[in-house]
Structure 1
Amino acid sequence: MKINKKLISLVLAGVISSGFLVGCSSTSDKDESNSGKEKTFVYGTSAYNPSLAGINPHKGYLGWAAIRYGVAETLFKFNDKMELEPWLATDYEIVDDYTMKINLRDDVTFSNGNKMTGDAVKACIESLVRLHDRAPSDLAIVSVDADGQSVTIKSENKVVNLLNYLSDPYAVIIDVSDFDEAGDTCIGTGPFIAKSVTGEEIKLDKNENYWGGEVKLDKVVVKSITDGDTMTMALQNGEIDATQGLPYSSLDLFRENDEYKISSANTSRVYQMAYNYENKDLQNKKVRQAIAKAINKEDFTKTLLNNNGTPAVGAFPSNFSFGNEAVTADTFDLDEAKKLLKEAGYEDSDNDGYVDKDGKNLTLRWLTYPSRMELPLLAESAQASLKEIGIKVDVNNTENTQDYLNKGDYDIYASAFVTAPTGDPQYYITAHLVDGAANNFGHYHNDKVEALTKELRNEFDTKKRSDLAVKIQQEVLNDCGYTYASHLKMSFVMKKNITGFEAHPSDFYEITANTDIE
């Protein structure tokens, strides 16, 4: 079966140091006309931070920075309707159920001048599979063969969503002949070249030989700003040109000021609670149900997030056929939560305000991180509501979550995850819900989920894949395996003279060749 060029559907507090004030000055402030001047775009974001330092796509989730900041690109990409379309590739052919041939553009060079060939793409994919934590199970590659400007990939699984996975940021095409596997940077095909990469900032220069046309900016500085008040003040003072991650309480300051503009998009990023099943208390389903019933999703989304999101039922938002509208979960009910705890044998025997069992209070270690400003707010909300049903919550809000996850020093891990950036449900399910999944830190296991996921991996039909995704989610929700709080509405706030910088529902296309300061 051959399919060519097909699109697939699938206020303010904090002190800013003088060094920051001087270092962030943007070209648009120095010379409003920018005539004859270098254009430097300064971008402040909470999504890049020391715990996610680097743009090496073969390490964890660092490919997100590589693609977001215009360093590297994938073979296919998603449009704003989450349909796949060619990017570094021209088209593809499904040779058989387990084999796909991808044809490549003939006019693409890496930023070091080397041509992107089939051999270069083959080497990149093989390096990815060898080094990355999620890619081997996602892609299940048996072999990659190169022939001129094409690559043929054979997989252990049917290639039902191979292109979706190859459009994940970890699959950006980089020149591995000029690559330090242990390093923090890479050579890509994008409009910008990373000149300096640290945990605090990335400095990029224009790729003068970009294959995709004129690059309108000369330089880009991406700054890590994890404090909301600092970020708000930096934008107000003109120290940055645009930002992502502003506190919701600050958005109205810029929405009501015609010197700024906002670009927003509904995304599949979910704020979720994953349980550590090594905790004997949490092995009791009634305890997990009580916790789920004590999470006030409506209040969290409407009050704390200022309506910049929607309450979640399952892992996916309502704009997907396998999203919120297709599944059901426990609803907020403190009285029922208290009843469930009592049925599980937890009562406040010493009248200290917390339930106990066998002489021990039910205390949960809540692990989260500050770089997503919504997560500390979720911790605050959950801590208050869980206290009402007699559960004590100790919050650990740290950027070093991986250390605690590795050691198992937590009971609930609250995180933010984009569940369908590739427009397909398998991405999230195989990363979180099955045995051995890279993000199944708490060792969740469900026999039915395992069996249904096996079916999903081998199903081509879109409707059947959607139905399987619904069944898998419903099994997890019936089991109270995970609890989902809210889906995010993402907003970029920028000066009014910034163009070509638009929020995207996939949450990983940001700075492009068209981004400009007018």
Structure 2
Amino acid sequence: MKTTPLLCMFAAVFLCIAAAGCTDSNAEKNVLVVGNHKMVDARELDQGTGTGTLITEKIIITETLVGTEEDFSLKPILAESWKMINDTTWEFKLREGVKFHNGDEMTAEDVKFSIENINAKQPGRTTLLDYKGSEIVDRYTLRIRSNEKNPLLPAALHSPDTAIISPKSYDAAGNYVGTIGTGPMKLESFNEQTGEVVVVKHTGWWGGTPTLEKIITRGYPNPGTRSMVLENHDVDLTFDPPYSSVDRLDALLGVEVLKFNTPRTYKLDLNMDHAPLDDLNVRKGLAYAIDREGIVDNVLYGVGDAAAGPFLPTMTWANTTLVPYTYDPALAKQYLAEAGWKDTDDDGYIDKDGKKLSLKLLTYTERPGLVPMLEAISANLKDVGVEVTEVAMETGAISPMLNEGDWDLYLIAANLAMVPDPEYVLKTWYTTDGTTNRGHYSNPEVDRLVAEGHNLTLPEERYAYFRDVEGIVYDDVATINIAYYGVAILMWDNVQGFAYDPTAHDYKLSPFMTVS
């Protein structure tokens, strides 16, 4: 058959497309397909039931009153300015002309609704607001009252949980119908069966006209799957493949790998309701048994650093005098022996009163470093005579075990900067009633110091004060901090304009990215 020039052109185009492994995004210009680390649950789209991270950072349909610069200092977003009126009242001046996705203008009434919505439905997420109520001064001015003096309140409003939404995100009966935010993208569809979320650009966004036409977000909980769909060009951008594959992926033609430090710490929570984890000598023994440097080098492949206190050393408020607990199996055994745990029958396991020291170690599978870290930590603990039961499952599967207290150690990659202030972590992780104090660590001195430090207003004074508190929980081994989290962002080179936000959870997309 004779081949025409037109057929030759179509054949060449077809071969070019096949070779490129084109994604859905290539069917339209500036459509970004993202591989997220978990399937989206319908509740995550609702400001009142989700964490705020998805809607504010991953699909950028909502915004907060307050943002942060790269050094974690505060900056205006939906609030133009704020000031303390008295010890318990902050006044916020709102940005005028901000339009919700339905065209309504954002007012003080909408902001009040949003804060009270999350405060009523998830009060644990607004603990640091110490919210008492709000007063509408005028259309663009709102006063927010706390129960007691609260210098932390503007920083607490950086949390994506406090994202501003329209009351019309709910029907007259209060049922969720779809998030209406102010962000650069707006919700178009959500597939409950597949978890796929589609957002399209908000042409009325106050920050300018987005270049992205659409973002399609799909969930891939398995790190290996994320690597595969990126290689197949089923997605344009993803993050955190198996760390062992990062160098190989970076070598692929057309693939770019970016590595950043992100405000997370790999840590072990210890269930202090379970003896002997309530014994400081046992906790110190476990801390000295873990080879942090070996884990960073051989498990995380250099994506991260050994951890001392909970805070990254680059954070302004971090106590940089703290150093990681050294890997010292002999010292670990000494501390365990002081607590009465010795190998009395030469079976390789330490025991006391006829019982082995046996611990149940849990983690979840969505993040690539956790399962291999669990295996390495388990091996370290076995080397000092601790019997370990390893459990690694998706978050939904281990949640009941955590809730029921059926665990001893929980390995987690915990966020440090939901609120850009040291009190956020020290209060929620380490005070007796802390909202994420899973292990029920309790030290009355820490409770007192955190409560008193809350009232300090000058940043440098606060930072110096809370450095001392960080030193106490470090000495108490309130958590065993393993490593500071590094994130690997993978994208094809047809994606341009990605800018890393070091204060975000893993990553935050920019509406001014392009996909050719």
Shared fold, TM over 0.5: yes
Q: Does 1:361 align with 2:356?
A: yes
* The one of 155, 161, 164 aligned to 1:170: 161
Task: Give the RMSD, CA atoms, in angstroms.
Answer: 2.2
Partner amino acid for 2:128?
A: D
In the alignment of these two chains, the number of paired residues is 489
Is 1:447 matched with 2:444? yes
Q: Is the 8 A contact 1:422 1:506 kept in 2?
A: no
Distance 2:54 2:413 in 1: 14
Matches of 2:279 and 2:408, distance apart in 1: 13
Asked if 2 retains the 8 angstrom alpha-carbon contact of 1:265 and 1:504, the reply is: no
Residue in 2 aligned with 1:10? none
Q: Secondary structure at the match of 1:134?
A: helix
The residue that corresponds to 1:192 in the other structure is 185
Per-residue CA distance 1:376-421 (angstroms, 9 max, x = gap): 1221111000000000111111223321121001011111112134
Judging changes above 3 Å, is the alpha-carbon distance between structure 1 residues 368 and 52 closer, same or farther for their aligned structure 2 residues?
farther
Please give the alpha-carbon distance, in whole angstroms, between the structure 1 residues aligned to 2:135 and 2:211.
37
1:68 correspondence with 2:62: no
| Deviation (angstroms), 1:61 | 2.2
Larger Rg over CA atoms: 2
Amino acid at match of 2:249: F
Whichever residue aligns with residue 515 of structure 1, its letter is M
Q: What is aligned with 1:54?
A: 44
**1:142 counterpart residue number:** 132
Deviation at 1:39, TM superposition (A): 3.3
* CA shift digits 1:291-325 (9 cap, x unpaired): 11111111111221111111100100111243252
Deviation at 1:96, TM superposition (A): 2.0
Q: Deviations over 1:78-113 (max 9, x none)?
A: 122322211111112221232111111111111122
**444, 453, 456: which is aligned to 1:459?**
456
Could you say what secondary structure the match of 2:51 adopts? Answer: coil
The answer on whether the counterparts of 1:93 and 1:100 sit within 8 Å (CA) in structure 2 is yes
> How far apart in 2 are the matches of 1:376 and 1:265?
21
2:88 corresponds to which of 83, 88, 98: 98
Structure 1 segments (4+ residues) deviating >6 Å: none
Q: CA–CA distance in 2 between the matches of 1:478 and 1:159? A: 28
Decide whether the 8 Å contact of 1:273 with 1:415 is kept in 2: yes
Tell me: CA distance 1:52–1:286, structure 2 relative to 1, closer, same or farther (3 Å).
Answer: farther
Instruction: State the 1:504 CA deviation.
Output: 1.5
Question: TM-score, normalization: structure 1?
Answer: 0.89
Of 370, 373, 376 in structure 2, the residue corresponding to residue 378 of structure 1 is: 373
Deviation at 1:50, TM superposition (A): 5.6
Compared with structure 1, are the counterparts of its residues 159 and 342 closer, same or farther at alpha carbon in structure 2 (3 Å cutoff)?
Answer: closer
Cα distance change on mapping 1:202 and 1:73 into 2, 3 Å: same
- Give the one of 41, 56, 60 matched to 2:32: 41
Asked if 1 retains the 8 angstrom alpha-carbon contact of 2:63 and 2:163, the reply is yes
Assess, with a 3 A threshold, how the Cα gap between structure 1 residues 297 and 348 changes in structure 2: closer, same or farther.
Answer: same
Question: What are the Cα deviations for residues 360-381 of structure 1, in whole angstroms up to 9, with x where unaligned?
Answer: 1111011110112111122111
In structure 1, the residue corresponding to 2:465 is in which secondary structure? helix
- Shift in Å, 1:176: 2.5
Residue 108 (structure 1) aligned with residue 98 (structure 2): yes
Equivalent residues in 2 for 1:308-457, closer than 5 Å: 308-323=303-318, 325-328=320-323, 330-398=325-393, 399-400=395-396, 401-457=398-454
Q: Percent same amino acid at aligned positions?
A: 28
Task: Please list every run of 5 or more consecutive structure 2 residues that lacks an aligned counterpart in the other structure.
Answer: 1-20
Match of 2:17 in 1: none
C-alpha distance in structure 1 between counterparts of 2:177 and 2:497, whole Å: 27
Alpha-carbon shift at residue 228 of structure 1 (Å):
2.2
1:516 matched residue in structure 2: 514
Does the 8 Å CA contact 2:497/2:510 hold for their aligned counterparts? yes
| 1:15-45 Cα deviation digits (max 9, x unpaired) | xxxxxxxxx9634544xxxxxx353211012
**Which SS does the other structure have where 2:217 is aligned?**
strand
CA shift at 1:233, angstroms?
Answer: 1.7
**Structure 1 stretch 292-301 or stretch 464-473: which is displaced more?**
464-473
Q: Give the direction of change, closer, same or farther, for the CA distance of 1:294–1:162 in structure 2 (3 Å limit).
A: same
Per the alignment, residue 302 of structure 2 pairs with 307
| TM-score (normalizing by structure 2) | 0.89
> Unaligned regions of 5+ residues in structure 1, if any?
1-23, 31-36
Check the 8 A contact 1:121/1:173 in 2, yes or no.
Answer: yes
Aligned counterpart, 2:275: 280
